[in-house]
Structure 1
Amino acid sequence: MNARTTRTLAAALSLTAAFAISGCSSDSGSGSGAKADGAKPRMTVSGAYMPEPVNDKMAGAFMVIKNDSGTADKLTAVTSALSDDLQIHETKDQKMQQVPSMDVPANGELKLERGGSHIMFMGLRNKPNVGDKVTVELRFEKADPVKVELDVKERTYNAQAPTSTDGNAH
């Protein structure tokens, strides 16, 4: 009985190791049944800005995230040296609420804009002023992280002007 248990355990460990190895090798591709090269989404960002915050309690960030690939993705997190607490928010029925992620459609874009979906900085380490730049890193479910420089604009600034490829990035 002891030899039988040992053989069963050895078979189970071999099977587990095989699954682990095959799982690791598919991660290097892009997983999720993605086809050959180029299947991993590639994100570009335009028009990134932050209105000058009133105080060091909170601030918002706005931009357009474009996905030129045929694979949908999700914005899952944002990090910055300006705050340890960055949140992804959506606005529904004029109420702001935190969400765990936001869809970035295949061959489409996610617009983070005033009155709609946006990024919230909670508890700022310092208060940025007009003309400053704030760096954030956007993290996605599938795509590589993207570093973005937010231009700090006047509090009344609204990026509804013409849509150029890199509108407000200076």
Structure 2
Amino acid sequence: MNRHIVLAGALAVTAGLALTGCSSDSGPELTVTGAYMPQPVGDMAAGFLVVKNSGGTDRLTSVSSSLSDHVTIHETKNQAMRMVSSFEVPAGGALDLERGGNHIMFMDLKQRPEQGETVSVELHFEKADPITVELPVKETTYNPKKQ
């Protein structure tokens, strides 16, 4: 009888380890490309970039910058934009913040950056460590999709 208890215990531990191995979600592995900011013409600006993820799912939860105390993330649906609390960065995929779509919004700029300068931002995620990104300031009408 003791042999059955030992065997059952060993099987339970083995099954638990196997399930743990199958269900573990690898951490996010994030890189940022294509970052830029069109030169602002007023006291607001937008930022665009792509967060690529070769690991597990994560979420962009906020963005901070010394350029503004009010930096938010916005989604665009049906040509209307609204502030959101986060964006998914899918496993093995990308979060694309682009003109006419989802983007970073800077309100009440402390200064107006000029073309050729860079603006530093810090991206904050649910799981991954923050990533600091330099946004080169491009001409007001810059659109990489049309280049």
- Shorter-chain TM-score bucket reads 0.7 to 0.9
1:160, distance to aligned residue in structure 2 (A): 1.0
Whichever residue aligns with residue 125 of structure 1, its letter is K
1:51 pairs with 2:38: yes
For residues 93-112 of structure 1, give each alpha carbon's deviation from its aligned partner in whole angstroms, at most 9, with x where no partner exists: 10010000000000000000
Whichever residue aligns with residue 105 of structure 1, its letter is P
Question: TM-score, with normalisation over the residues of structure 2?
Answer: 0.82
Q: What secondary structure, in the 3-state scheme, does the structure 2 residue paired with 1:160 have?
A: helix
1:129, distance to aligned residue in structure 2 (A): 0.3
- The question of whether the paired residues in 2 share the 8 Å contact of 1:34 and 1:40 is answered with no
- The question of whether the paired residues in 1 share the 8 Å contact of 2:68 and 2:109 is answered with yes
* 2:48 aligns with one of 59, 62, 79: 62
Task: Give the 4+ runs in structure 1 shifted more than 2 A.
Answer: none
1:34, distance to aligned residue in structure 2 (A): 4.4
1:139 pairs with 2:124: yes
| Greater strand fraction, Structure 1 or Structure 2 | 2
1:102 pairs with 2:76: no
Q: Which runs of 5+ in 1 are unaligned?
A: 1-32, 163-170
- Inter-partner Cα distance in structure 1 for 2:32 and 2:52: 6
Q: Which runs of 5+ in 2 are unaligned?
A: 1-22
- Inter-partner Cα distance in structure 2 for 1:64 and 1:147: 13
Whichever residue aligns with residue 75 of structure 1, its letter is L
Identical positions, percent = 56
Whichever residue aligns with residue 62 of structure 1, its letter is F
* Aligned pairs, number: 125
